[in-house]
Amino acid sequence: MARADQDWSVGTTYFPDPDAVGIPDPTQRGWPAIRRAWRRGWGVLVRVSRPIARLRWRQKIALAMALTIVTTSAWIYFGPASLANNPPLQNAFLYDRNGRLLAELMPEENRVVVPLSRVPKVVQDAFIAAEDERFWSHPGVDPLAIGRALIADIRGGRQGASTITQQYVKNTFVGNERTFGRKVREAILAMRIDRRYPKKKVLAAYLNSIYLGQGAYGVEAASRLYFDRHVSFLTLPQAALLAGITSAPSLYSPRVNLSGALKRRDHVIERMLLLRLITADQASAALSTPIRLAKPKPRPVPAPMFVDWAKKSLAEEVGEDAVYRGGLKVTTSLDLDAQEAAEDAIADLLPDEDDPDVSVVSIDTSTGAVRVMVGGRNKHLGDFNLATQGHRQAGSAFKPFVLAAALEAGKKLGDTYHAPSSIRLKYKGVSWRLSNYDHYGYGRLSLRRALAYSVNTVYAQLIRDVGPPKVIDVAHRLGFRSSLSDILPLALGTSPVTPLEMASAYAAFDNKGAWLRPSGVEKVVDQNDEVLFNGERDPKVAIPADVADEVKDALRSVAEYGTASRVRLKHFDVYGKTGTTEAHADAWFVGFAGGIVTAVWMGYPKSNKPMTSVHGVKVTGNSFPARIWERTMESLLLRSPTFQNDERKSKAKPSPAPAQSFGPTTAPEPSTEPEPSPTSGGFPIIIPTLR
């Protein structure tokens, strides 16, 4: 490549060859203008370089230093700065559909952001006294503190010089690397932020980001961790205790080192007195106050199986990263009153520790919103969820899907089949012999009556005529994701499925054949009160509307005069189906009324132990599962807005289940205590992040 040389004695300039430096060919359009610009630019560079080249080396060094200072000052003064690099991780809060707190989802960082208006002045003063007494006057760095630190270093001691602004920059942007370059970047960013933002906003950002031990970031999270109260209610001794932790959170956390925390607290109080932020009387009273910490106790989570499942739904709706980035307020679909009613019904009817387990799922048939999810008795967060993971045989509760496939294929509810007490059938070369549950023959029965009486021999013939693949196709369209076997016994529910799948599929029968994916989230609001998700979902037409209506009509016959004739709800028609597997290892009742579908399963999760004598009862779908279904549905329907606006509400009262020989049935009395608001003092409040 050609080179530009300069004879400084005569001022002659040799320009580099344009072709050698990649300039376009002169024949190209616009080349003359490019060539002129190239020559002018090179000439300016040469003219500027001449006087610099004539300077002595000391002058050149001085000029370089001056240019560096000017450039750095301009960068500090005019450069961009922000109080937030990435949105800090924050806790998300889950509420039930009526505003009752369900759970607080914590990332690895326990953080709740609050505005400075919610942080009392005594807390602000405590941190300023402990960390940065000239915070309100310095430009982001404190020259006096830096000078003191240098003198201390020379004398062999150690003293911090970082301001509150620098500490925020260190925690948020540059990290804790002990290098000179990091300290320079920290100081520059601190000055830029101090110039751009009001002091109060800087202080708010610091108080929401400072680490205060035990996984707590920010004064609100630490206040709740150590004192079980909001930061707005902290006293002087409590504020000083938190401020004292900042210098070494792992060392001065009161849960780790109570005596060390006490010394740090007293030091902060003395500093506040010295700076005249408090009076002598206040200091004396605070110094004599013992440290009283809230007892660490795990907060019980209502509906833990639902909360676990709803977290996954939340991640699907807004993205996994957003769950902890936006300080979310999440209104879930859960009806906590109905959830408690279902749990109470289970506890009342099955009080013994060795009783079978139960799972309950209730879904709004028009929206797919899950109202109740009991994943088993005495479950905790992270446990195995029977509602979503408990795959069990559905028994005769699966027959409606065989009926739906047959109706799609052109069969009618009035079509009749021979209904012997037992029958032998063959499919794909495999012979299958089966009997009716009661070993009774029914002559000829219509498909409607065969469903009502749950006649196995009729539905075995029906699936043979329609074909198991057709039934499997219908089931998959109705939301089943479990593996379904291409065999005739599928008609009797031999392929294991989950309660959530059963409830979701039955919901389509009440929704004109439209299926909606079950969800636990109805609304998501971020820290700026912007709605990220409003609960809207698009239904999918799974089966024709006329087919769904006919299956629904047949399910009403089951409750009117069939195997579920004992199931009743005041003021509502019941549509449902019982299911009992071989040797009474599983018992189901799945049904809907008033726009809500509920599936109840009962059995032993880890075995197929027969339930031939539970409190003296041979368990079927019409026994314990039906009673639990009734009490759950009463709680859901008799408090629903639709029913409350109906003229029948004055006559309706939740009725206890009729007395049976298999256990207590008294329904719990509805609570008379008002439900707290999610914005009341007893609940955490998500406040927009300060930026």
Residue 614 Rama label (left phi>0; alpha psi -120 to 50; beta): beta
Residues 6+ apart with CB under 8 A from 403: 447, 451, 459, 462, 551, 554
Paired with 101 in beta bridges are 95
Alpha carbon distance 669, 690 (integer Å)? 45
Instruction: Say which residue the tokens 């989230």 belong to.
Output: 521
Question: Whose CA is closest to 576, among 587, 586, 590?
Answer: 590
Phi and psi for 662 in degrees, rounded to 5? -100, 15
For 257, 427, 459, 487, 581, the CA distances from 430, given in Å and listed in that order, are 73, 5, 17, 9, 21
Alpha carbon distance 565, 548 (integer Å)? 21
Phi and psi for 589 in degrees, rounded to 5? -140, 125
Coil, strand or helix: which one is 685?
A: coil
Burial class (CB in 10 A: 0-12, 13-18, 19+), 665: middle
Side-by-side strand order, sheet with 329-332: 101-105, 92-95, 329-332, 521-525, 531-533
DSSP element (H, E) containing 329: strand 329-332
Residues 6+ apart with CB under 8 A from 286: 235, 236, 237, 240, 269, 278
Residue type, 348: D
Phi and psi for 443 in degrees, rounded to 5? 70, -125
Phi and psi for 647 in degrees, rounded to 5? -65, -15
Pairing verdict, β 110-111 and 92-95: unpaired
Residues 6+ apart with CB under 8 A from 344: 631, 668
DSSP element (H, E) containing 304: helix 304-318
Find out whether 571 and 643 touch, Cβ atoms under 8 Å: yes
Q: What number of other Cβ atoms are within 10 A of residue 549's Cβ?
A: 15
Structure tokens given for 195? 């110039």
How many residues does this entry show for the chain? 691
Out of 253, 333, 362, 396, the active site residue is 396
Structure tokens given for 406? 């047959």
Q: Is the dihedral of CA 328, 331, 336, 339 positive or negative?
A: negative
Phi and psi for 250 in degrees, rounded to 5? -70, -25
Instruction: Say which residue the tokens 């006919």 belong to.
Output: 550
Find out whether 138 and 163 touch, Cβ atoms under 8 Å: yes
Within 143-253, strands assigned E span: 216-217
Told to judge if 396 belongs to the known catalytic residues of this protein, a careful annotator would answer yes
Alpha carbon distance 455, 441 (integer Å)? 9
DSSP element (H, E) containing 125: helix 121-131
Alpha carbon 468 to its chain's center: 39
Q: What number of other Cβ atoms are within 10 A of residue 304's Cβ?
A: 21
Find out whether 239 and 122 touch, Cβ atoms under 8 Å: yes
The per-residue b/e assignment along 17-46, b for 16 or more CB within 10 angstroms, e otherwise, is ebeeeeeeeeeeeeeeeeeeeeeeeeeeeb
Residues designated as active site: 131, 396
